[in-house]
Every structure is written in structure tokens, then in C-alpha cells.
Amino acid sequence: MDKLVIEGGARLKGEVTISGAKNAVLPILAASLLTDEPCVIKGVPNLRDTNSMLKILRALGKVAELDKGRVSICAGKTGNYIAEYKLVSTMRASFCVLGPLLGKLKKAKVSLPGGCVIGVRPVDLHLKGIKALGADISIDSGYVIAKTNKLKGAYVYLGGVYGSSVLATDNVMMAAVLANGKTVIESAACEPEVADLAEFLIKMGAKIKGHGTPVIEIEGVKHLHGATHSIIPDRIEAGTLILASLVTGGDILIKNVQYQHLGSLLDKLHEAGAQIERGDGSLRVKGNKRLKSVNITTLPYPGFPTDMQAQMMSLMSVTPGISVITEKIYPDRFMHVSELNRMGAHIQREGPHAIVEGVKILSGAPVMASDLRASACLVLAGLAARGKTSISRIYHLERGYENIEEKLINLGAKVWREKE
């Protein structure tokens, strides 16, 4: 197993291009299960999670290959409806094969999911929505077993304790496109990745309105056909590289950005005094200005994304003043706090809040990544720190950031791998 070593202090400069969105491509790949016709997905990032989803599709009978950012999916052996534990346990997003399997084959057996350890993430909203469409649901030996003679359109309310659920919205939407009649999903997730999935389904022949809003309307159709689709840019990768420029005092031109997807982050960085210039599908981020601390509260989109909370904490840990970071999506998503404190940060956790007192500089140290976004947080801290930082368990980083080492090295970072 490798660890990532960073010699901090380099000022990042240059250009970088954002890859396709991980959180969009995974449900879109799953949606190919809704048809026997060929599908082509472009702009696909070569990630651990992407390859895990391709393995699941192959196990379910598809022929699926990734080549230079392009995935071609064709029907192979049809009729397999069981998503095994050994595959689904590697990432939570794989649970979104439940909806398309049930919609297409009228039955599904899907292992309860795994993924990052960032707190309790139940699947109750998924099952509630699928049941509302007329499926019989049971749980046996760690598997969700769903059956139906025919799904029927229904009113589905998907509001949860911590707001809407992206994957539950994806699952219900994919099940509903082949159901009889009209489905209305209220308190639907509004994330750009959900809207991107809906756009792909529409290209396949689905009738969907309201995606990107809290109310999605779906008129079921009898069958879907193949389609070609290009994935939206990854707003979380873009946000992470924006902060990399700021935390190192850099000057980076970030290409392939849809900055309308970054509104809450850019608003907070503007409040902090960051210099960010908008171009045509690009952002130039200059980190040579003194920033001030800001308070952050994570919320469902278009609020501040929980997937940027850890990275923002790295920036605030070296920003003068005191900031309060409140996590309202996953209240236990603070495992990176102790690792940042090992590097000299002053962070105190109180329930769903982290109180961050900025320090002048962090010190390199051996640290351990607990999840995907925590690993990105530690990379940012390592770039800003004095001395060497070694990050263990970087397989988390590989789940969500394509060629991140190469991109950072091209920007002037001193980054390399070593064996554990």
C-alpha cells in the first residue's frame, strides 16, 4: 500500500483542467441498466469508484469498457438482478443500481452499501420511495430484496432528518421512469449531479420535468433506448483546487468549470477576501491576498456542500481569526480534525460544530486519511505546511480525484508516493 508524501511550501502556479464529476457519473452508469441498447458516456474520470461501478455493471450482465474518458456499455448476458456484497460494499453509490434493476427487471437483490466512514447514512429514504412505487421490500442477510409485478407512479416525499437525499432521489427517479403513470418526487435533491442524471434519462426517452428543483415530475414510459451523454465537470474537484491555490498563495487557472455549481463556495471565499476571476468556463484563483476567517454551515444544494467542509477547514486552519464550521448533513464528519491538530492546527469539536482558530503555519507530520474528502483536506494541509507530510490510506483519494498527483506536480507541488 502506498502513502502520499508532500514537501510543503511550494506556491502552486499554472493551469489545470477539471475532470468529469464522480457523483454524476456513478448513477448515470447505473442508469444504463434501464435499456438493452448501447450507451456511450463521455468525460468519465478514471477513478477507483468508476471502475468499481463498471465491475458491478459487468456482474449484472453488461459489457462495459472505459477508454480515455469514454465508457461504452452494451447488453451482454441479461437477467442478472443480484448486486453482490463484495462489490457494493466498496462504495455507497453502488446502491443506486436498485432503482434501475427494479424498473427494468421487476426484481432486485442489492447488498446494503459501504463507502466512507463519515457517520450514519441509512437507506430508509431509498426504500420508502421504492415502496411508494409499489414494490415489496424485505431485508435478508444484509441484502435488500425488492419485487414488483409493475411499478406504478406515485407521490413520493423524500425529506429526511438532514434534508433531501441525492442517491435516494436518483434511485426513485430511475425506478419511476418505467413505471405506469405519473410520479411526483417532493423534497427531491437539487444537486447538479441529480439534474445531470435526469438529462441522461431524458436522452434515453424518459419524460422528466423539474430536475434541479425540489419537485420532480416523471411520466412513466414503456421502454428506454440507448443514448450518448457527456458528464458535467466535478464541482468538488474544482473547489478543492481553488482552495489549493489559496492555501499556497498560488496563481492557478482552473479550466472546465461550471461556476454556477460553485455559488455557495465562491460566495464564502468572496466574504473571506479571496481573489477569484471568472472567465469563459474557467476561474483564475490568486492566493496572494490575506484572507479573513468565515463561518461555514453545510446544507443541501445550493447550500455549502458537505463534500467541501473538510477542505475548507484546512484553509481556515491557516487563516487569521476564529471560524465556526457546522456540519448539518453528516454531523459526525469530523474525523480529519484530529489529523489537522497533529499538524499544529487549533481545532476544537463541539457536537456538530468545529471551532477553528487560525495559526500562522502548519507543520508536516504523518497523518491518516479516514475518507475521501478528509484525504483531500490533508493534501491541502500538507501543501501549506512546513516540512514533509505523509498521508496514509490514500486509496480514499483515488476514489474521487483523477490524476491528482500529476495535476499538483504540474502546478509545482512537491508530491510523490512511497511504500507504507
In this prediction, residue 357 carries a pLDDT of: 98
Average pLDDT over residues 383-401: 95
Percent share of the chain, pLDDT over 70: 98
What secondary structure letter does DSSP report for 161?
T
Q: What is the pLDDT of residue 120?
A: 42
pLDDT at res. 116 = 43
Least confident of 8-12, 250-254, 284-288: 284-288
Instruction: Say which amino acid occupies 222.
Output: K
pLDDT digits over 90-140, tens only? Answer: 788 889 999 999 999 999 999 988 544 444 457 889 999 999 999 999 999
Give the cell for residue 417.
Answer: 508516493
Strands 346-350 and 322-326: unpaired
The CA-CA-CA angle for residues 39, 43, 48, to 5°, reads 95
Cα separation, 93 vs 84, whole angstroms: 14
Q: What is the mean pLDDT of residues 358-379?
A: 96
User: DSSP for 196-245?
Assistant: HHHHHHHHTT-EEE-TTSSEEEEE--S-----EEEPPB-HHHHHHHHHHH
More confident residue, 395 or 291: 291
Return all residues near 127 (Cβ < 8 A) that are at least 6 apart: 137, 144
More confident residue, 298 or 113: 298
Structural domains of the chain ordered from first start: 2-19+233-419 (3.65.10.10), 22-230 (3.65.10.10)
Check residue 118 and give its pLDDT: 40
Beta strands in 279-409 (DSSP E): 282-286, 296-297, 322-326, 346-350, 353-357, 366-368, 388-392
Instruction: Using alpha carbons, select from 388, 241, 404, 401 the residue that is nearest to residue 311.
Output: 241
**pLDDT tier for residue 324 given thresholds of 50, 70 and 90:** very high
**Of 65-79, 151-165, 190-204, where does the model show the most confidence?**
190-204
For residue 218, give the nearest of 248, 257, 164, 174 by alpha carbon.
Answer: 174
Scanning 32-84, the segments in alpha helix (DSSP H) are 48-59
DSSP secondary structure letter of residue 116: -
Cα torsion through 185, 264, 355, 401, rounded to 10: 80
Q: Is residue 339 predicted with pLDDT exceeding 80?
A: yes
For residue 333, give the nearest of 190, 208, 188, 162 by alpha carbon: 162
pTM, two decimal places: 0.96
pLDDT reading at 146 higher than 50: yes
| pLDDT at site 30 | 97
Stretch 247-271: mean pLDDT, rounded?
Answer: 97
The set of residues, in sequence order, having a beta carbon less than 8 Å from that of 229 and lying 6+ positions away, is 28, 39, 40, 41, 42, 199, 200, 203
Q: What is the pLDDT of residue 142?
A: 87
| Among 39, 74, 96, 116, the one annotated catalytic | 116
The angle at the Cα of 140, spanning 139 to 144, to the nearest 5 degrees, equals 40
Residue-level pLDDT at 31: 98
Predicted local distance difference test score (pLDDT) of residue 123? 87
Q: Taking residues 207-233, report their average pLDDT.
A: 98
281 pLDDT exceeds 70?
yes
Report the C-alpha gap between 382 and 8 in whole angstroms.
6
Distance set, CA 1 to CA 164, 406, 415, 416 (Å): 37, 19, 17, 14
Please state, for a pLDDT cut of 90, what percent of the chain lies above it: 87
Residues 6 or more apart in contact with residue 125 via CB below 8 angstroms: 158, 160, 165, 168
Which parts of 272-413 are beta strand (E)? 275-278, 282-286, 296-297, 322-326, 346-350, 353-357, 366-368, 388-392
Is 190 considered catalytic here? no
* Whole-number pLDDT of residue 114: 56
CA angle centred on 417, ends 411 and 420, rounded to 5°: 155
